[in-house]
Structure 1
Amino acid sequence: MTKKLTVLATGGTIAGIAGSAIAPEYSAGEISIEDYLEKVGGLGLEAELSGRQIANIDSADMSPTVWNALHPAILEALGQEDCHGVIVTHGTDTLEETAFLLDLTLPADKPVVVVGAMRPADAVGYDGLRNFANAVRVASDPEAAGRGTLVVMGDRVFAARDVRKVRTRGTEAFRGFPRESVGLVTPSSLEWFGAPWRLDAAPAFVWSDDLPEVVILYVHAGLCAEELLRLVGEETRGIVVAGVGEGNMPERVRQELALMALGGIPVVRASRADEGLVDREGEDEVNRFVAARALNPQKARILLQLLLAGGVADPAAIQRSFDGR
C-alpha cells in the first residue's frame, strides 16, 4: 500500500539556493514546498506526498513563533486517518533543538521525521534529495512508529534525544550521543538497530506556546561573576551552564549561581564538551544544582523550559526528569 505522508517545510539549506554550483555562499529557505515536491517528484518515491509551508527561513532564525505554527500543524496531520507519517524539512543549525522539542511534546504512534541538508539545492553534490528520499523511506516504515521524533541525515537515522550537529561542513555533519544512530537508511533499504522504545505513545509534556526564558551561560577561562549578572534579567526563569569539563565553572560564578538557585531560579550544569555525561556531584545538593546527564546545553535548555512551563521548579523533580531522558 502506498503510504501518504505530509511534508511540513520550514526552510533551511535543503531549500537553499546559491546561484552557482560552486559558490561558497548561499541563501537558505528559497525554494517553496510546492517547488520542492515537484523537484522530488521524479525520484520514483513510493509514497504520496502533500506539503505545507510553515516558514521559509535560515534555521538560525528558528523561534517559538515558528514552533507554535509547526507543532499544531504536525498534530493536525497526524490526526488524519489516511496520514501515515510526517516529514519536517529544516535547516541544520538548530535542527537538533526543534527535533528534541517535538520529541518531548508529540505522540509516538506515527513517524515524525526531521530532515535537512548541508549543501544548497543547486550545489555540486547536493545531499538534500538523498536525505529527503531517505526520510520518505523512514516515515513510510511502520517500524518507525514508537521511536519518537527521528532525524535523518547522511544515511543515518538518529533519535532526537541523541542527535547533535558536530561539523560545520560536509555531509556527515551529525552524530548521536549516547547512542550513535538507531538505524541505517538508503532510498531503497532501512535497517533498525533494535526495537521501538516509545511503546507508550503519549507525549511527555503538554505543549506550551509561551516558553519561559532560560539563558545559557557559556563558561570560558576568565569568566567573571559580573558576566553572569549581566546575562540574567528580570524575566529569566532558569539558567543552563555550558560548563567546562563535566559542567565545571569558576568558584565565584558557582557562588553567584548557588545564590540564584537558592532564590528559586533552577540551575542546570551541562558541558560545552561535545560528548560525555555530566553526573551529579556532592556540591549539587548544597548548591541546589541539576546535572544535565547526557543532554548538551541547548537540549537541556528546552527540557528545562518545558518543565518550568508545566510548573515544575523543584531541583529534585527537575533532576528526576533529566535522569529519565
Structure 2
Amino acid sequence: MKKIAVITTGGTIACTTDPETGRSIAGKLTGEKLLGAYKDLSSDQVELEVFSAFQIPSNAMDFDKLLLLKSVVESFLIRTDISGVVITHGTDTLEETSYFLSLAITSHKPVVNTGSQRIPGEIGSDSFANIRDAITLAAADQPDCSGTLLVFNEKIFSPRSVRKVHTSNVDGFAGGQIGTIDRGEVFIQCTATAAKACFDTLPALAVVQLIKAASGMSDLFIRAASTSNAQGLVIEGFGRGHVPPGWLPAIKAAVDSGMKVVITSACDQGRVYPAYEYPGSFADLTANGVISGQDLDAKKARILLACLIGSGQAVDSQSFL
C-alpha cells in the first residue's frame, strides 16, 4: 500500500463559514479536520499522513512561507515510506507556489498541488473531488507523473504554464494542461515542461517587485522600486514586451544601479520579442539592459528571478526559457 503525505496550508479548501456575516473564513480547518471529512478514498487503496503547515488565506503566502513549505515537503520526500506528496492551497497564489516548488524540489516523487473554488460545506463544492484526484495522481504508477504538478477540476497542469482564469468557477485554471483524471484513472497526453533552473539549495529568495504597465502611466512605481530594498523588478508590459515611452529613463537608471529588470507580456500566450523599433519597445528596453522574460507570465518570472538572485546564479534572457 502506498503512503501519501497531505500537507495543508489553508485557503478556500479549508474554509468554514462565519455565522454572523455568512462569509467564508479561509484556512480555518486544520489538515486533520479537512481530511477527516474526506472519506472517498478507502484505506485499502492508499494510506494518508496529514500535516498542517499553515492555516492562512493564500493572499498571505509570502517568500518566507514558500521556503518553509519547501523544507516541509522535502522532509516528507526523503522518507522511504512516502510515495508522494499532496499540497492543499488557496487558489489566489496556487500557481505561484506550484511554480516555485517545481523549481526548488528535485525529487522524482510526485508533488501534487490542488485547491478549491468552493468551501467544503457548500453545495457543489469541488474541495473533496480535487483532493481525491490529487491523491490519485500522487499515488499513480506513471513516470510522467513525477515532479511537481497541479490538479484542478479533473485536469493535470504543468506549473510553468498554468494560470487561474476564473474568480469562482470550479473550472478555475487553464494553460499547460498535460492530462486528465477520469473516475480514478490518470491519463497523460504529454509530459510537463521541466524547469530548466534548479534551486534545491536556496538560502533565500531575493526581494523582487512587479509592476504592470497601462496606457499613459507615469514612471512613479519604477522610481519607487529603484529606491526600495528590491534587488529585482519584473515589468508586465504590452504585447511583445513594450512599456510607455516615458518609462525608459527610470528603467535605465534602475538597471544602471545594479537592479535586475525583466520584461514580460500581459498577453496569455506568446513571448516578448524585438519586432518593433520605437521608444519603449522591447528592442529599446533590451538595448538598455532589460532582460527578456520570454513566454513566462509576470508572476512566474518574479518567482524565477527571486530564485536566481537568491541563489547567486547568473541572470540573463536564457534563464527564462
TM over 0.5: yes
In 2, the alpha carbon distance for the partners of 1:142 and 1:67 equals 28
The equivalent residue for 2:47 is 48
Give the superposition deviation at 1:217. 1.1
Give the superposition deviation at 1:71. 0.9
In 2, the alpha carbon distance for the partners of 1:127 and 1:24 equals 19
CA gap of 1:4–1:273, structure 2 versus 1, over 3 A, is same
Q: Does 1:105 align with 2:104?
A: yes
Give the superposition deviation at 1:24. 6.9
TM-score (norm 2): 0.90
Offset from partner CA, 1:242-268 (integer Å, 9 cap, x none) = 112222111111232123213321111
CA gap of 1:196–1:159, structure 2 versus 1, over 3 A, is closer
CA gap of 1:309–1:170, structure 2 versus 1, over 3 A, is same
The equivalent residue for 1:278 is 272
In 2, the alpha carbon distance for the partners of 1:158 and 1:102 equals 14
Offset from partner CA, 1:161-219 (integer Å, 9 cap, x none) = 1111011110011001xx3x011013421100135665x9x971134352111111111
Question: Per the alignment, in what secondary structure is the counterpart of residue 182 of structure 1?
Answer: strand
Q: Does 1:230 align with 2:224?
A: yes
Question: Per the alignment, in what secondary structure is the counterpart of residue 128 of structure 2?
Answer: helix
The equivalent residue for 1:268 is 262
When the two chains are superposed, the root-mean-square deviation of aligned CA atoms in Å is 2.2
The equivalent residue for 1:173 is 172
Contact 1:147/1:159 (<8 A) preserved: no
The equivalent residue for 1:74 is 73
Contact 2:77/2:107 (<8 A) preserved: no
CA gap of 1:144–1:117, structure 2 versus 1, over 3 A, is farther
Q: Number of residue pairs matched?
A: 312
In 1, the alpha carbon distance for the partners of 2:7 and 2:203 equals 19
In 1, the alpha carbon distance for the partners of 2:295 and 2:172 equals 19
Q: Does 1:186 align with 2:208?
A: no
The equivalent residue for 2:60 is 61
Tell me, which stretches of 5 or more residues in structure 1 are unaligned? Answer: none
The equivalent residue for 1:208 is 202
In 1, the alpha carbon distance for the partners of 2:143 and 2:58 equals 25
CA gap of 1:250–1:298, structure 2 versus 1, over 3 A, is same
Tell me, which stretches of 5 or more residues in structure 2 are unaligned? Answer: 275-281
TM-score (norm 1): 0.89
Give identity over the alignment, percent.
Answer: 29
Contact 1:166/1:175 (<8 A) preserved: yes
Give the superposition deviation at 1:234. 3.5
